[in-house]
Amino acid sequence: MTRQEQFRRNHDLFALFMQQVLDNPALTKKIPKGAQVIFLPENDRDLSRANRRLAQTVRKQGGKVALIKITLVPQVLTVYTPRLEFAEAV
C-alpha cells in the first residue's frame, strides 16, 4: 500500500470518526492529550496492518498513540414513501 493510499483511506475513516464524535463528544475523553489517533479498521486488513506499523513508529519516537478500532456494522433502515390515491371524490 502506498503512503498516498493509506492517507486516503484514513481520511475516509476520519470523516466517519468525526461524525461519531459530533454525535457523542464524550468519545474524545478516552484519547490522551497529545496522542496521535490511529484507526484499526476490521474490514480492511491491509490498512490496519499499515496503521499498526505507523503506531509502532510513533511510539518508538516517543509519541502517544490512541488506537481506534472501527467496525462497520450493516444497518437496515425503513424508509416510508407516500402513496397517494383517491378514496372518493365528493
Average pLDDT of each block of 10 consecutive residues along the chain (90 residues)? 93 92 90 94 95 96 95 82 71
User: What is the model's pLDDT at position 89?
Assistant: 60
Residues in CB range of 44: below 8 A, 6 or more apart: 9
User: What is the model's pLDDT at position 65?
Assistant: 96
User: What is the model's pLDDT at position 87?
Assistant: 75
- Domain region containing 64: 3-70
Whether residue 39 lies inside any domain: the answer is yes
Residue 70 belongs to what H/E stretch?
strand 65-70
Number of structural domains the chain divides into: 1
pTM of the predicted model, to two decimals? 0.76
User: What is the model's pLDDT at position 82?
Assistant: 73
Residues in CB range of 52: below 8 A, 6 or more apart: 40
Whether residue 15 lies inside any domain: the answer is yes
Whether residue 78 lies inside any domain: the answer is no
Whether residue 50 lies inside any domain: the answer is yes
